[in-house]
């Protein structure tokens, strides 16, 4: 069984922010798979189930995402190699897509929390959101909405990512990297 986690923050005020790109991918996967909501308060998130697949949106806010991931991982006895985390990445240009196993958190507080709770050797789907001009603007930037220009490619980019994640059920990470990695999404 795979556990696919999309990172984001709960609440309508965060719904269309760059930080919530992981939630957007999970929402589309839930629709595509017709997944059932099996959330429990102990999971600290919205959990959906499809055949051989769990889809999780932690509702702990980004900085405590690891609590939710650990709860679900332990309850369902998911191997670390079967955990996939989808997250925004300011070190990649907008609409870039990369895949990797393990590594550092790069200053991402959601990844930092997950690393602390379950370790670092899980698979990551890195969705580039670009970065602001100054480091002091990072928080406002990731908690800001996508620009009009970015909105124009957002659905296509999300759907491309969804296809890649679906294939992670049956293909290796290296196969997914070579087929789905993007420098930027082009319609």
Would you name the residues annotated as active-site residues? 19
DSSP string, 104-168: --TT-HHHHHHHHHH-S-SEEEEEE----SSGGGHHHHHTSBPPHHHHHHHHHHHHHHHHHHHHT
Torsion over CA: 125, 130, 131, 132 (sign): negative
Give the span between the Cα atoms of 86 and 161, in whole angstroms.
Answer: 9
- Taking the CA atoms of the chain, what radius of gyration do you get in angstroms? 15
Question: Which residues, 6 or more positions from 91, have their beta carbon under 8 angstroms from its beta carbon?
Answer: 106, 128, 131
DSSP classification of residue 170:
T
Nearest C-alpha neighbor of 38 from the set 23, 57, 12: 57
């Amino acid at each position: 069984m795979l556990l696919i986690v999309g990172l984001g923050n709960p609440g309508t005020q965060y719904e269309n922010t760059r930080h919530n790109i992981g939630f957007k991918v999970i929402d589309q996967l839930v629709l595509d798979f017709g997944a059932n909501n099996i959330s429990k308060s102990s999971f600290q998130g919205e959990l959906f189930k499809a055949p051989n697949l769990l889809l999780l949106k932690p509702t702990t806010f980004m900085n405590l995402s690891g609590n939710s991931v650990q709860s679900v991982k332990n309850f369902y006895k998911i191997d670390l190699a079967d955990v996939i985390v989808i997250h925004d990445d300011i070190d990649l240009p907008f609409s870039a897509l990369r895949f990797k196993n393990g590594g550092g958190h790069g200053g991402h507080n959601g990844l930092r929390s997950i690393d602390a709770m379950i370790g670092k050797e899980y698979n990551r789907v890195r969705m580039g959101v670009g970065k602001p001009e100054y480091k002091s603007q990072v928080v406002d930037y990731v908690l800001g909405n996508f620009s009009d220009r970015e909105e124009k490619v957002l659905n296509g980019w999300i759907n491309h990512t969804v296809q890649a994640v679906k294939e992670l059920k049956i293909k290796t990470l290296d196969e997914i990297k070579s087929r789905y990695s993007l420098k930027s999404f082009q319609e």
